[in-house]
Amino acid sequence: AAHELGLQSVAIYSCEDRFSAHRNKADEAYMVGKGLTPVAAYLAQDDIIRIALEHGVTMIHPGYGFLSENAEFAAKVEAAGIIFIGPQPKVIDGLGDKIKARKLAMSINVPVVPGTPGAIESYEEGAAFVKEHGFPIIIKAAAGGGGRGMRVVRDEESFEAAFKNAVSEAKTAFGNGTVFVERFLDKPKHIEAQLLGDSAGNVVHLFERDCSVQRRHQKVVEQGPATTLTDEMREQLLADAVKIAKSVGYRNAGTCEFLVDSRGYYFIEINPRIQVEHTVSEQITGIDIIAAQIQIAAGATLPELGLTQDTITKRGYAIQCRITTEDPAQGFMPDQGKIEVYRSAGGNGVRLDASSGFAGAQITPHYDSLLVKCTTQGATFEIARRKMLRALVEFRIRGVKTNIPFLFRVLSHPTYVEGNAWTTFIDDTPELFNLVTSQNRAQKLLAYLGDLTVNGSQIKGQQGDVGLHEEIPIPTLVDPKDESKPLNTSQPCQTGWRNIIKEKGPEGFAKAVREYPGTLIMDTTWRDAHQSLLATRLRTIDMANIAKETSHALQNAYSLECWGGATFDVAMRFLYEDPWERLRTLRALVPNIPFQALVRGANAVGYTSYPDNVIYEFSAKAVENGLDIFRVFDSLNYIENMKIGIDAAKKAGGVVEGVICYTGDVANPKKHSKYTLEYYLNFAQQLVDEGIHILCIKDMAGLLKPESATLLVGALRKKFPDIPIHVHSHDTAGIAVSSMLACAAAGADVVDVAIDSMSGMTSQPSMGAVCSALEQSNLGTGISYENIQALNLYWSNVRQLYQPFDANVRASDSGVFEHEMPGGQYTNLMFQSQQLGLTGQWKQVVKAYIDANDLCGDVIKVTPSSKVVGDFAQFLVANKLTKQEVLEKADQLDFPSSVVEFFQGYLGQPVGGFPEPLRSKIIRDKPRIDDRPGKNMEPYDFAAARQKLQEKYGSNITSCDVLSYALYSKVFEEYRDFVEKYGDLSSLPTRYFLTKPPVGEEVEVVIDKGKSLLVKLIAVSPVNALTGSREVLWELNGEARLVQIEDKSAATEVVRREKATSDPGSVGSPMSGVVIEVRVQEGHEVKAGDPLVVLSAMKMESNVSAPVSGKVKRVVVGQGDSIGQGDLVVEIGHA
């Protein structure tokens, strides 16, 4: 305003404010209050006047707060021969003091709220008023505004403490600790009239503003004009506002404030200064109030400025939002730190009045948390409201928390939309705090990439760099009907076996499979192949990239195994992906081929027992999200564990494959007397009796030789001529291709294979080999060999990409016929042995594995029973124990917990039972379970789990999230915490997920449909010796972005404060701030609710109260300490 009037401006600033925008915008700027506290600097009246006189200042504008309502300061300014832009000192004294203003209003018949006639000097005087008028009451500072020095009290117990706090806060903020008390109106609206007066006695109003949306008496959203006042009440209220101003000869700008309820309006005070929300009045009248202030102070009259009441008109509606660095989800605790990103709103009808809002600004706890005022204007209230919603969405502020999500909720709430908000609307409306926060995807992505750049990969098990740095091309398929033509794969294929499931249901599907004349395949590339070769680390993006081509190339496949097994928890635990989202994503891209999952009977996709309702809910949600076929198994072939898994899958509408876990050798019954052909036929009968749709042989170790395959499949086909048979194996010994061909010839309907570059060794047999071998026979698969090779080209590149996780098994191992390790465990056990310091003792581990299996009673070995045997084996090697020594000393040894729980019966009952007396020696006095482990568990409380997760992560928790939590509570929370910190990284290309991007290389990350980020690493700073961090400079969509990353390898000199623990007596700070008073000492006895420490933050004072009664053991803060949220303040010893 000064610049527009052709005037030069001089600014003052405190040391803490030296980076604020106003310092640079003024023509000149000088530091005030050197050596004083941040607040005291701006209250240094004499120093302010000294600076003005030294630099030829002729007028002083006091701004919004601090000294703007101080009559003493205004008098000093005028005494120094400087013009004060504001009311006369005596008027400030008369109206700025709420008690004097109240008396004045009563003297001219303007209605007021019942209250004390004068200042309250003591708590006892306040108590006398309460005795007459009762609660609720409000305590107000006689000087100042902005909510400081105000307290609402509803009961006798909290009155005394509230009174003392209000007095203390008023004295700190305004230098005046006097207060008064009045009756508190319930649900009133706060309406204020904007006034302008001149030295000639003229006073006009600029209509009213509705400032009812408040928190702790600080305005949050203001609008004008008020939408709910009748014309008659508006006219009376504005007339009374002018009448009060004229009665005292008011000069310059001021605001007359009223409370309005259904019975009328009540004068509460006049603020003898310009207010934060004056922009609303400027927008609806077109009058520059600040310019008018300056001109009036210079001697102009209102008529000379063209400001007469008849010429002042309303132009539509305006809304102002105060955007602050406060966290509504944490009780509006002020946040502090560096603003990393700042992007403003703009456009038609949007006005911004900025404070310290810019990238790089350091937000401190010393002053008001206001960043920017955003004011929108429209022809109607609704247009202005919608503009504000749009503006709030456009803001991008990163690095500190803001109240923008909360403002959005307020402006969207029906009560606000209808204009019915009241002064405690925020406190009375808890649903306003169901916030939908900004995704902040770009900054979170940069934080992850920055951490990757500074500290390396966080992905467990990664060894070294990726083996491929180029983008993997998507292959072109050929049209099976005319292989000279390319196949259009721009859209997913719609033809496939899944159509039969949807049209005819599981029974019709099974019948169609059985009637198919050839051999069908299941592709395990998306599940068991990478579980066996790449430690289950394959990410969704690398499956999704080839998914549409797969839907075409393998349209005649029986199924794709893409879910279940270890993929569920590994997705969350190591890849930070949502396994349910993986299922949904792939389903959308492959609508035609059935999806299959490996499910552990009564354990779903977990490793322990769960209540039955978890298994049923899991199965239902799996089908709902796109799963078709459940391969239900139990690691011990324990039928009781399988029954619930089978029943749950059937009730969910899924196709059920009942699994026979295969071990031993049916062609050599002398070697494995338990696992004979008769045993398998009998177990198959039990499965068929449970109503399964498909019978599956799961050869998890690759033990099924061609001769045995012919014998077993042939016998099953003869006994069960109508049920489809599906065979799964591993190629550890190198014979799986021959075995699958034998199975097909013996009557198997489906065999499992993996794409060539993901096959062999501990994975499944080669898809190309099996399909080629059957191609010219009557058992052909109907899969194009050329298209298999096209997919294989893609997967050979992917295999290189995942080199850091490749098991690097270079040859077949026929030793599997002795040790019987499952394919997936073989490589994992080798890695675990190295981690346990057993490098070079692999042969001993293998021998010990055989001995451990014998000690367990020659069990079927597949997760989790295989883990028991593996843990047992490593225990034997590490402790140099023989099988005989274990048998002799079992009651004296400390076995691994997995071994103890196995012998207790937590996995179920093994074939032939547990070996005795070894079982009794191992479990000793621990409970033993001789039935299904989860049989008697209480139903899982899904509602309680959802509530707990919503309290921690917000309202966007889904039913699938709750299920993930039910199955893997700790893993799910760690996954969600990671996503909260770094965002959803599932669309980040794998090479940048695992390895830092090279300097200067542009990376495109697709974050949504039609929306991508272009990221380029520019530079990394040296480590900061004080903070132990580095600054990483990025270019994001062409703009510079800076993120600060802790260097975990750097030594740091930073002294970090002790944090409060979960113990009730460990009292932490509820917010960041400065300790201004410590009210207890070590040894003091305190009661729950007693104030311990007083904090100041953003000019607000708050008590930190004792949560429990007891004796103070430690006080770890002192007056003047700056502390952060969660820092330990006091430790209380309690019962």
Phi, psi at 364, each rounded to 5°: -105, 165
CA distance 625 to 619: 10
CA distance 619 to 632: 11
CA distance 269 to 97: 8
CA distance 763 to 524: 9
Decide the pairing of beta strands 218-224 and 341-343: unpaired
Tell me if 600 is assigned to a ligand binding site: yes
Tell me if 698 is assigned to a ligand binding site: yes
CA distance 362 to 342: 12
Tell me if 863 is assigned to a ligand binding site: yes
Q: Which amino acid type is present at position 683? A: F
Tell me if 730 is assigned to a ligand binding site: yes
Strand partners, 1130: 1067, 1115
Cβ-based neighbours of 160, under 8 Å, separated by 6 or more: 123
Sign for the pseudo-dihedral over CA of 891, 896, 899, 904: positive
Question: Are the beta carbons of 1051 and 1026 closer than 8 angstroms?
Answer: no
Cβ-based neighbours of 460, under 8 Å, separated by 6 or more: 573, 574
Half-sphere exposure of 561 (CA within 13 A, CB side): 30
Say which DSSP state 1007 is in: E
Please, what is the Cα angle at 454 between 452 and 459, to 5 degrees?
30
With helix as H, strand as E and coil as C, how does 877-945 read? HHCCCCHHHHHHHHHHCCCCHHHHHHHHCCCCCCCCCCCCCHHHHHHCCCCCCCCCCCCCCCCCCHHHH
Q: Is 991 a catalytic residue?
A: no
CA distance 673 to 694: 27
Cβ-based neighbours of 393, under 8 Å, separated by 6 or more: 345, 408
Decide the pairing of beta strands 1073-1078 and 1091-1097: antiparallel
Tell me if 217 is assigned to a ligand binding site: yes
Using CB atoms within 10 Å of the CB of residue 859, give its burial: 0 to 12 exposed, 13 to 18 middle, 19+ buried: buried
CA distance 113 to 92: 21
Cis peptide before 480 (omega within 30 of 0): no
Sign for the pseudo-dihedral over CA of 704, 709, 711, 713: positive
DSSP H helices, 520-566, are 530-533, 540-544, 547-553
CA distance 12 to 62: 11
Helix 706-719, helix 736-746: angle, nearest 10: 30
- Determine which one of 273, 537, 799, 1041 is catalytic: 273
Reported as type and span, the H/E element at residue 514 is helix 498-515
Tell me if 528 is assigned to a ligand binding site: yes
CA distance 603 to 885: 34
CA distance 25 to 43: 22
Decide the pairing of beta strands 350-354 and 370-378: antiparallel
Tell me if 269 is assigned to a ligand binding site: no
Please, what is the Cα angle at 14 between 74 and 73, to 5 degrees?
10
Strand partners, 466: none
Tell me if 693 is assigned to a ligand binding site: no
Tell me if 246 is assigned to a ligand binding site: no
Helix 942-953, helix 959-967: angle, nearest 10: 100
Half-sphere exposure of 142 (CA within 13 A, CB side): 24
Cis peptide before 997 (omega within 30 of 0): no
CA distance 1104 to 324: 23
Length of the chain: 1135
**Nearest of 74, 55, 68, 77 to residue 11 by alpha carbon:** 55
- Tell me the catalytic residues: 273
**Residues tagged in the binding site annotation for ATP:** 98, 182, 217
**Residues tagged in the binding site annotation for substrate:** 600, 863
**Residues tagged in the binding site annotation:** 98, 182, 217, 528, 600, 698, 728, 730, 863
**Residues tagged in the binding site annotation for Mn(2+):** 528, 698, 728, 730
